[in-house]
Amino acid sequence: MLDKSKKMFEEAAALIPGGVNSPVRACRAVGADPVFVDHGRGARIFDVDGNSYLDFVSSWGPLICGHATPWVLRAVEEAARRGASFGAPTEAETRLAALIRRFYPSMERLRLVNSGTEAAMTAIRLARGFTGRDRIVKFQGGYHGHADSLLTAAGSGVATLGLPGCPGVPAALAELTLTAPYNDAAALTEIFVRHGESLAAVIVEPVAGNMGVVPPAPDFLPAIERLTRQYGALFICDEVITGFRLGLGGAQEHFGLKPDLTLLGKIIGGGLPLAAFGGRREVMERLAPLGDVYQAGTLSGNPLAVAAGLAQVEYLAAQSSIYKRLAQSGRRLADGLLNLARENGFEACANQVGSMSTLFFTAGPVSDYASALKSDPGLYGAFWREMLARGMWLAPSQFEACFTSAAMIPDDIEEALDAAARAFKALRK
């Protein structure tokens, strides 16, 4: 069934640590070997052994409209004919920046980079440079890429692999990152009372996606906004997942936020390596060459990635009814999986915001990292394997988001729920 994949995995493992170029793809947490992909088309992904799956990973978020969309393909092909990279500005970068700012007016100035990690790393450096302060605050289970300052109590692959921390990050640097439980405004207030004058920034996923999906409590994001303003720290809103996912204006539109800095990624690259960071003009203009905070990149604003991102975002802007469909499919999937789990006698709860959701194998509720950790990862792994065998491609980790895509039709969600019904029955034995 997965013979070619197994062979490719062995070959890869002889060259690439763990056989993968990003740890969370390793599928270790779900007791499996990674499945090698041959291609994707629309809502489905096809492995090298000819098996097809409904794709609920969406490349970890970027493919909100599914695989190989005609509009992205056309845009990338046209751009490639003009040359892949120039190391000089192109007008398309300005067009993408303008389109982003149209939906994220808080991003008065912005820069295009190649990954969410790069965007987050630079936003932290910029906040430290602008405020002259060194400490930052992140939340346990939050993941903002793998920059040194952001690996403390990180979610996503760090949580998936149960890594206690990260050797290689100097203690002197790690101790400048303070953490609080997600959704705990009181704990954050305590940190500000004690350290407020030395805090450069608070960085948060406005809807957590890297401890599994956890929505913000009503008082949480307003508390971050209020405290950062009161103490002169910057509010960094990490919308790498939620940007153009929850709606065209992301979480800051959904919750009425005005961050000092915002991170975007994934969807704005249309599947190619592109991310962005931006915010208040006086902060962003501390960046070289205007200011003295340095950030750079050979392939920043790369023409192929920008072409893909423009095509994707322009499509979403023209088809904004997509978001209503995505919210309906996200709700149907989350409710359906939860009902099936409970009908089959499994302790479970589910969180869902728009097209992103997580079924947790714990009674719940899951409102932060500590409660997410009460999930049964072994049971999640068994469920993942049963679903894979029935043509469903789920995130190989309890601590990730499940995404519905606009390429899915209601029958696809029903197909997934039928597969889950059979998977849960198989697990009951």
| Measured CA angle at 57 (ends 60, 397), to 5 deg | 85
Q: How far apart are CA 137 and CA 233, in angstroms?
A: 10
Nearer to ligand KE4, 184 or 238 (CB): 238
**Stretch binding ligand KE4 (CB under 6 A), from 115-123, 165-173, 303-311, 369-377:** 115-123
Nearer to ligand KE4, 227 or 275 (CB): 275
Q: How far apart are CA 72 and CA 67, in angstroms?
A: 9
Cβ-contact 216, 142 below 8 angstroms:
no
Instruction: Specify which residues 423 forms β-bridges with.
Output: none
379-408 binders of ligand KE4 (CB under 6 A): 400
Nearest alpha carbon to residue 169 among 126, 121, 208, 110:
121
266 classed as catalytic:
yes
412 classed as catalytic:
no
324 classed as catalytic:
no
Instruction: Specify which residues 136 forms β-bridges with.
Output: 177, 201
Nearest alpha carbon to residue 99 among 267, 212, 334, 241:
267
**Stretch binding ligand KE4 (CB under 6 A), from 44-52, 65-73, 139-147, 194-202:** 139-147
* Contacts with 263 (C-beta within 8 Å, 6 or more apart), sequence order: 116, 119, 120, 123, 144, 236, 237, 238, 239, 240, 243, 275, 276, 277
Q: Is 216 in the site for ligand KE4 (CB under 6 A)?
A: no
Shortest distance (Å) from residue 271 CB to ligand KE4:
12
**Stretch binding ligand KE4 (CB under 6 A), from 72-80, 110-118, 363-371, 407-415:** 110-118
Q: Is 271 in the site for ligand KE4 (CB under 6 A)?
A: no
Q: Is 143 in the site for ligand KE4 (CB under 6 A)?
A: yes
Shortest distance (Å) from residue 239 CB to ligand KE4:
8
Cβ-contact 251, 278 below 8 angstroms:
no
**Stretch binding ligand KE4 (CB under 6 A), from 233-241, 284-292, 330-338, 416-424:** 233-241
Q: Which structure tokens are listed for 58? A: 């969406």
Q: Which structure tokens are listed for 232? A: 């002169």
Give the type of residue at 76: V
Cis previous bond, 289, omega within 30: yes
Nearest alpha carbon to residue 315 among 69, 97, 59, 39:
69
Element (H, E) at 137: strand 135-140
Q: Is 116 in the site for ligand KE4 (CB under 6 A)?
A: yes
Q: Is 212 in the site for ligand KE4 (CB under 6 A)?
A: no
Cβ-contact 176, 134 below 8 angstroms:
yes
Q: Is 67 in the site for ligand KE4 (CB under 6 A)?
A: no
Q: Is 55 in the site for ligand KE4 (CB under 6 A)?
A: no
Q: Is 202 in the site for ligand KE4 (CB under 6 A)?
A: no
Nearer to ligand KE4, 62 or 66 (CB): 62
Pick from 137, 240, 261, 413: which binds ligand KE4 (CB under 6 A)? 240
Q: Is 228 in the site for ligand KE4 (CB under 6 A)?
A: no
Nearer to ligand KE4, 62 or 381 (CB): 62
Which phi and psi (to 5°) does residue 264 adopt?
-130, 160
**Stretch binding ligand KE4 (CB under 6 A), from 11-19, 138-146, 158-166, 293-301:** 138-146
Catalytic-labelled residue, pool 182, 266, 369, 412: 266
Q: Is 265 in the site for ligand KE4 (CB under 6 A)?
A: yes
Residues touching ligand KE4, count (CB under 6 A): 21
Task: Give the DSSP per-residue string, 54-118.
Answer: EESSGGGTT-TT-BS-HHHHHHHHHHHHH-S--SS--HHHHHHHHHHHHH-TT-SEEEEES-HHH
Pick from 10, 11, 22, 345: which binds ligand KE4 (CB under 6 A)? 22
Residues that bind ligand KE4 (CB under 6 A): 22, 24, 60, 115-117, 120, 143-145, 156-157, 205, 209-210, 238, 240-241, 265, 275, 400
